[in-house]
């Protein structure tokens, strides 16, 4: 292994696996940043556990992607530059306050929940197997984040204000979850992946129920951010990668 960045030959299936893996790893890394500084012990355990679930999902997906690209899961995680990452922008944004962290977790998990439930039926057996585990774990994530949003939204004036501000700020990043391109189309057609556009009904229903109980307003669907799936990221991803990849870049192939 060398510190030189790898180039990944991206077939449509590899792109798809990387999108799911990158979403999971980047969000898992963000959640792990709360370790040691969460507001309560239970919140800390929950965030660390959810981070572990996501990083575990990513490992299985990188392992599978690597059988096509000839890389190890570590190479895919630690030796790609920012423009080779295929995660959506939503997951790379900084944690913000606790309301932003929980709102982002809810918005993402509500999507992942519908995606994995549908992907259990994928004709790609490894993706289906990852989905079978992930859909159960993601159900816990949705419930946990949802309960927090309800508590924050229906809590004090200050917690309500912060929860609403978090939703408003994050909303323009949710459009990217449902965007499809030519690479997706063929895989949707052959039933390798579910059609993300078809998942929006379920996503809206999950969120609608939670927002109502949280007394939070669903933000208007306006102009939506995008670019992450094509490798055009915010400045935040570069900083995250600098920290996450530091060890392997500095000490190539280090193990312990």
Partner 1 sequence: MVATATLRDRALAVLETVTDPEIPVLTIADLGILRDVAVHGEGVEVTITPTYSGCPAMNIISLEIETALARAGIEARVRTSLSPAWTTDWLTDAGRRKLAAFGIAPPERTGSRRALFGESRPACPLCGSADTEQISEFGSTACKSLHRCRACREPFDAFKCH
Using the rule CB under 8 A, give the single segment among 92-100, 140-148, 165-173, 218-226 that binds partner 1.
Answer: 140-148
- How many residues in the shown chain lie near partner 1 by CB under 8 A? 30
- What are the strands, taking DSSP E only, across 138-255? none
Burial string for 179-213 (b: 16+ CB within 10 Å, else e) reads: eeeebbeebbeeebbbbbeebeebbeebbeebbee
- Least separation in angstroms between CB 140 and partner 1: 7
Does 165 help bind partner 1 (rule: CB under 8 A)? no
For the record, the structure tokens of 133 come out as 């585990």
> What are the residues whose beta carbons fall under 8 Å from the beta carbon of 162, sequence distance 6 or more?
97, 99, 152
In whole angstroms, what is the distance from residue 166 CA to residue 174 CA? Answer: 13
Using the rule CB under 8 A, give the single segment among 86-94, 131-139, 163-171, 221-229 that binds partner 1.
Answer: 131-139
In whole angstroms, what is the distance from residue 208 CA to residue 200 CA? Answer: 12
- Least separation in angstroms between CB 203 and partner 1: 17
Q: Residues 35 to 94: which contact partner 1 by CB under 8 A?
A: 42, 45-46, 48-57, 59-60, 64
C-alpha triplet 10, 108, 171: angle, nearest 5°: 105
Using the rule CB under 8 A, give the single segment among 67-75, 78-86, 102-110, 132-140 that binds partner 1.
Answer: 132-140
Nearer to partner 1, 126 or 226 (CB): 126
Contacts to partner 1 by CB under 8 A? 42, 45-46, 48-57, 59-60, 64, 125-126, 128-130, 132-134, 136-137, 139-140, 143-144
């Amino acid at each position: 292994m060398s510190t030189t960045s790898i180039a990944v030959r991206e077939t449509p299936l590899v792109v798809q696996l990387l999108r799911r893996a990158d979403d999971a790893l980047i969000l898992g890394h963000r959640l792990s940043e709360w370790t040691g500084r969460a507001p309560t012990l239970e919140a800390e355990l929950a965030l660390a556990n959810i981070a572990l679930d996501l990083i575990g999902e990513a490992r299985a997906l990188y392992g599978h992607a690597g059988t096509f690209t000839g890389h190890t899961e570590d190479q895919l995680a630690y030796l790609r530059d920012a423009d080779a990452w295929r995660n959506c922008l939503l997951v790379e944004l900084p944690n913000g306050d606790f309301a932003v962290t929980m709102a982002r977790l809810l918005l993402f998990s509500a999507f992942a929940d519908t995606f994995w439930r549908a992907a259990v039926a994928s004709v790609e057996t490894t993706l289906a197997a990852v989905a079978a585990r992930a859909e159960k774990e993601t159900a816990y994530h949705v419930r946990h984040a949802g309960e927090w949003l309800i508590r924050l939204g229906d809590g004090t004036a200050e917690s309500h204000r912060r929860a609403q501000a978090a939703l408003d700020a994050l909303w323009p990043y949710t459009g990217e979850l449902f965007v499809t391109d030519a690479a997706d189309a063929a895989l949707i057609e052959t039933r390798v992946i579910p059609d993300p556009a078809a998942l929006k009904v379920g996503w809206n229903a999950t969120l609608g129920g939670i927002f109502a109980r949280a007394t939070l307003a669903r933000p208007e669907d306006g102009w939506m951010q995008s670019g992450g799936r094509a490798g055009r990221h915010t400045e935040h991803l570069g900083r995250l990668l600098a920290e996450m990849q530091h060890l392997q870049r500095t000490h190539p192939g280090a193990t312990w």
